[in-house]
Structure 1
Amino acid sequence: MSDTVAVRGFVATDPRHLVTEGGLPITSFRLVTTHRRYNRQASAWEDGGSNWYTVSAFRRLAVSAADCIAKGDPVLVSGRLCLREWTGDKQGMTVEIEAESIGHDLTWGRSDFTRAAAGEGTADGRADGTTVATAEGTDNAATPPEGIPAASP
């Protein structure tokens, strides 16, 4: 199954960036969305259930996401929704979004846009030509706002 979706949520894990042997840059992270509703009796907002997605970005988007996105960031992700069943000791389903675009949710703050340099897009996607085998994201201590889980299940 593959459908186009737009999802608003928080980056729940440090983005993981790698470059395949064939030179394809890939960045992935977990995204959590938590539905909030107003409880009139308690006169307070309450968290509903959370949905978890694995977001994967490729090529130039992967490089930009690795450089700009950090754990705890509020983001908007648009892309193809893919449901992948898996089996092993247990059975389950992975919900993945193959991102076509990713951006910061400006409801929560400000973001400065910088256009990618013309030289970006080398074999590993970096403008300086350095080769990146793997990078586990940034050591950013940012945490999601209150009520948003800090780690994926």
Structure 2
Amino acid sequence: MKREAVEEFVSSVVEGIIAGTEMELVDVEYVRERDWYLRVYLDKPGGIDLDDCQLVSEQLSSKLDEKDPISDNYLLEVSSPGLDRALKKDKDFIRYNGRDVDIQCFKPVHGSKQYTGALQGFTDDTVDILINDEVVTFERSTIAQIRLHLDF
């Protein structure tokens, strides 16, 4: 199975596992670093805890062993998306509208590859960020990643 197909398959399995719970599937990644990793990110009101991760991990592992859709050896990780979670879906942009985000671009846009500002809105093709009292529009095709900004 190709990477995208693995992610779609695992997403559908996880959605079945968490149906009827407060948990929400945030993202699934199937990536090769040194080894292959299958990462499942979950959230729920009040945050995900270790018991939630263990429950989903055990059930998902069992279903993946049963169906065996992934030919490569991989490491399964089930976790929270973290405080600096990546924004990928429309519901993420709606939920975090007004919050500060960090944008990393594939190549320089408006003179830089990295920006921090308040999320002001989005369309299918663009994302608007308030930077120094000016709304800057980024084409989604130029954005490598958008994450919630953390202030320490």
For normalisation by structure 1, the TM-score amounts to: 0.24
**Larger relative contact order (CA 8 Å, sep ≥ 6):** 1
- Higher-helix-fraction structure: 2
Question: In proportion to residue count, which structure has more strand?
Answer: 1
TM-score with structure 2 setting the length = 0.24
